[in-house]
Amino acid sequence: MLENKMNSARSAAERSLEASLAKIVDWQGLTITYTRVNAGYTNFNYLVHVAEQDRTYFAKVVGPNTDVFINRKVAYEAAVLSGECGVGPKIAQYVAEDDFEVYDFLDGFRNCTITDMLDPQIGARVMRAYAKIHAGAPLSATKTGFDQIREHATQVREAGADCPPDLDDLMVRMERAEIALAGAEMALVPCFNDCYVTNYMVNDNNDVRIIDWEYGANNDPWWDLASYFFECFADDDTRRRLVRVYKADASAGEQARITLYTPLVCLKWGLWASLQSSISSIEFDYLKYADILFMRARYLMGLDAWGRALEVA
Phi, psi of 191 (to 5 degrees): -125, 155
CA distances from 246 to 129, 192, 207, 225, 234 (A): 9, 15, 17, 9, 15
Q: Quickly list DSSP for 266-303.
A: HHHHHHHHHHHHHH--S---HHHHHHHHHHHHHHHHTS
Give pLDDT tens digits along the chain (313 positions): 678 999 999 999 999 999 999 999 999 999 999 999 987 677 899 999 999 999 999 999 987 777 777 899 999 999 999 999 999 999 999 999 999 999 999 999 999 999 999 999 999 999 999 999 999 999 999 999 999 999 999 999 999 999 899 999 999 999 999 999 987 888 999 999 999 999 999 999 999 999 999 999 999 999 999 999 999 999 999 999 999 999 999 999 999 999 999 999 999 999 999 998 888 777 789 999 999 999 999 999 999 999 999 999 8
Is residue 147 within 8 A of residue 178, CB to CB? The reply is no
Does 110-312 carry CATH code 3.90.79.10?
no
- Burial label for 250, CB within 10 Å (0-12, 13-18, 19+), is middle
- Whether the pTM exceeds 0.75: the reply is yes
Segments making up each domain of the chain, as ranges: 4-104, 110-312
Q: In this predicted model, what pLDDT tens digit does every residue of 115-126 receive, in sequence order?
A: 999 999 999 999
User: What is the architecture, at CATH level 2, of domain 4-104?
Assistant: 2-Layer Sandwich (3.30)
